[in-house]
Structure 1
């Protein structure tokens, strides 16, 4: 898909992988809507790229629908959705204080998995009636998972389950939407230099990078964004979950 002047949505676009993706899409000529709960940061990113900032809770059915209405009125129907919104709360299933509170597990599943599904269903519903582009393509949906979906570490049960759910969602969604020319893919990053990682000391970041086979460093958000652009432009990539992790395979802890 040629994304020049195409309406695109990035959830979790206020920082980290989402912000880098929003910038990359805008640089490629897309009209970008930055969705996030962090209003000041999302506005800052939107102003920088000439985009649109919208406060949006991806788990809120009514609020997300309203966000799509605003985007449609400002930029037209979005043909690109990149799901980057998510949380990474950690905790053992049974810790020193007993079993993990069920609400903690539910929160991670709700934001990461159900939130991604919510945005996917709304985006696809808007893409389906649009006029097809080259090769009959109508849209592209990309979700963000994690290497933890495959090698979840101790303390990542909720996070790994939420990301694993998106992995399992990707192929059936791609098959369902294939008849409409909508491609569905996901990206599974390993250890990336996000705002959370930036809080670590330089020594800690170097130690984490040393565990990666090659290149021996944390991934850059711009490298994630480049993969997003490639998936959008390459019409034969569909139903895939692509790892981007420097060949990292995480240990138990």
Structure 2
């Protein structure tokens, strides 16, 4: 599927994976609506319009989808918004904060589903392309969905849910010509890692079999563009992790 003269939605677009993806899609000719809770510090990119929106807020998502659909045929959605707090189920301060657990699920899983569902409604109204194709949705999971570490119960649960959503969503939306795929990144050099020491970053990189370095946001974006272009990839979760399998801690 070609991106030129279409519109796209990218969530979590103000930084990290989302910012790199928004830039890549705009570079391919798409008009991108970039969603994030705070867009004040988002990079200014040609072809990207930033909209302040919370993926857990149905009305804000509906408004953003309508805006994207008004910008051209909505063909692409990439869900990158997410949070990753860490806590053990039983720790020194007692039991895992139950509200925090629910919040992680709400943002990472329910937010992804909300954007997927509401955007698919708009994509289904576009004119079909060859073989009835109308669009593609790419979600973001994590290798924590498969190799969740100590302290990642909430995060791994939410990302495991995204993986589990992929195939049934692809099957549900097949009749409308919408493909659904998921990328499960390993350790990516995002702003979240910018706060840790170089020694810690080097230790993370050394644990990756090959190449022994952190992944780059641009590589995530490159994979997303490849998935969009490859019309036969559907219902699939692709690990992007340098063959890393996470240890318990």
2:40 aligned counterpart, secondary structure = helix
How far residue 250 of structure 1 moved from its aligned partner, in angstroms, is 0.1
- Residue 126 (1) aligns with residue 122 (2): yes
1:35 corresponds to:
35
2:50 corresponds to:
53
How far residue 25 of structure 1 moved from its aligned partner, in angstroms, is 0.5
2:9 aligned counterpart, secondary structure = strand
Q: State which of 230, 234, 242 in structure 2 corresponds to 1:234.
A: 230
- Residue 110 (1) aligns with residue 106 (2): yes
How far residue 199 of structure 1 moved from its aligned partner, in angstroms, is 1.5
1:86 corresponds to:
82
Q: Give TM-score scaled by structure 2 length.
A: 0.98
How many residue pairs get aligned? The number is 249
| Matches of 1:192 and 1:161, distance apart in 2 | 20
How far residue 72 of structure 1 moved from its aligned partner, in angstroms, is 2.3
2:51 aligned counterpart, secondary structure = strand
Q: Structure 1: 5+ residue runs without aligned partners? A: none
2:18 aligned counterpart, secondary structure = helix
1:122 aligned counterpart, secondary structure = helix
| Matches of 1:41 and 1:83, distance apart in 2 | 19
- Residue 194 (1) aligns with residue 190 (2): yes
1:19 corresponds to:
19
How far residue 203 of structure 1 moved from its aligned partner, in angstroms, is 1.7
1:119 aligned counterpart, secondary structure = helix
- Residue 64 (1) aligns with residue 61 (2): yes
2:86 aligned counterpart, secondary structure = coil
1:251 aligned counterpart, secondary structure = coil
| Matches of 2:240 and 2:216, distance apart in 1 | 11
Q: Structure 2: 5+ residue runs without aligned partners? A: none
| Matches of 1:41 and 1:176, distance apart in 2 | 37
2:148 corresponds to:
152
Q: What RMSD in Å do the two structures reach over aligned CA positions?
A: 0.9
| Matches of 1:222 and 1:63, distance apart in 2 | 28
| Matches of 1:215 and 1:101, distance apart in 2 | 37
1:143 aligned counterpart, secondary structure = strand
1:239 aligned counterpart, secondary structure = coil
1:250 corresponds to:
246
| Matches of 1:229 and 1:84, distance apart in 2 | 14
1:235 aligned counterpart, secondary structure = coil
Aligned ranges for residues 2-17 of structure 1 at < 5 Å?
2-17=2-17
Q: Deviations over 1:28-78 (max 9, x none)?
A: 111111100112123xx3x322321100100001111111122223x1342
| Matches of 2:68 and 2:126, distance apart in 1 | 15
| Matches of 2:175 and 2:64, distance apart in 1 | 26
How far residue 6 of structure 1 moved from its aligned partner, in angstroms, is 1.2
